[in-house]
Amino acid sequence: MKLLAVETATEACSAALYIDGEITERFSLTANEHTKLILPMIDNLMSEAGLLPQQLDALAFGCGPGSFTGVRIATGVIQGIAFGADLPVVPVSSLAAIAQDYFDSNDNIQKNTAFTAMDARMGEIFWGVYNRDELGYAMLIGKEAVTLADDIEFPDLNGIGLGSGWGVYEDELMLRLAGKVKHYEVDIRPRARAIARLGARGFELGLAVAVELAMPVYLRDKVAKTEAERQLT
């Protein structure tokens, strides 16, 4: 199977090519450069592999949550390629990618649950809890949400905290989880290599969609909601 993946939901910009289980990635940690970097990354990967878009089986992208602009960049790039090459698309949660990247790099069976939290600004976090399944894939428990750190919902499991939200809301999250998390990593971000892994799995499970259905996920019902508006909801 051949799949191209992109992820631009945070300050990390990356593209990855999945070919029969092997993943090659281009990654850069930068601010406000995603539109300049992502297409050259894709061109480099495809050229190195000697592939044209029409030779791919599918595409995958980090559909959010994350930065509004960042999520739109990934969506637009993938939609453009998908329309041009008539390819199906697998949307992949950027929170799931954080968990997957950690699971792929750590074999500790005592850390099979990831409490992922990304800073969502406006006093909130993007939140999701993932378990590592028997095949090593990140599987969502419950629902993803945009929420106050004090209001997170979680299963009765012990695990590791992952993501930028832990750096901003450490006290609130540690208090709310009451000892279920003893260690957290702030500097782990969604990456295309994890999007590729989950995208390939999603394709196998029949989760690919037509390009017109490949839409971003913001979690907020209104992305540009003001503080005054939030007080009314």
Integer Cα distance of 9 and 64 in angstroms: 6
pTM: 0.93
Q: Rounded to the nearest 10 degrees, what angle do helices 68-85 and 34-49 cross at? A: 40
**pLDDT at position 224 over 60:** no
Please, which residues bridge with residue 159 across strands? Answer: 181
CATH label, 95-185, candidates 3.20.20.70, 1.20.58.190, 3.30.420.40, 3.30.9.10: 3.30.420.40
Which helix (H) or strand (E) segment holds residue 98: the answer is helix 94-105
pLDDT at 127 over 70: yes
d(CA 115, CA 173): 10
Domain at 2-93+190-213: CATH code: 3.30.420.40
Q: Sorting pLDDT into bands at 50, 70 and 90, what band is 187?
A: very high
Which 8-state DSSP code applies to residue 209?
B
* Per-residue pLDDT tens over the stretch 78-118: 999 999 999 999 999 999 999 999 999 998 666 799 999 99
Give the pLDDT confidence score for residue 229 in this predicted structure: 33
- Sequence-distant (6+) residues with CB within 8 A of 132 are 99, 103, 112, 113, 114, 138, 139
Portions of the chain given CATH number 3.30.420.40: 2-93+190-213, 95-185
Pick from 38, 51, 48: which is nearest to 6 by CA?
38
Q: How confident is the model at residue 230 (pLDDT cuts 50, 70, 90)?
A: very low
CB neighbour burial string for 119-154, b if at least 16 within 10 angstroms, e if fewer: bbeeebbbbbbbbbeeeebbeeeeebbbbebeebeb
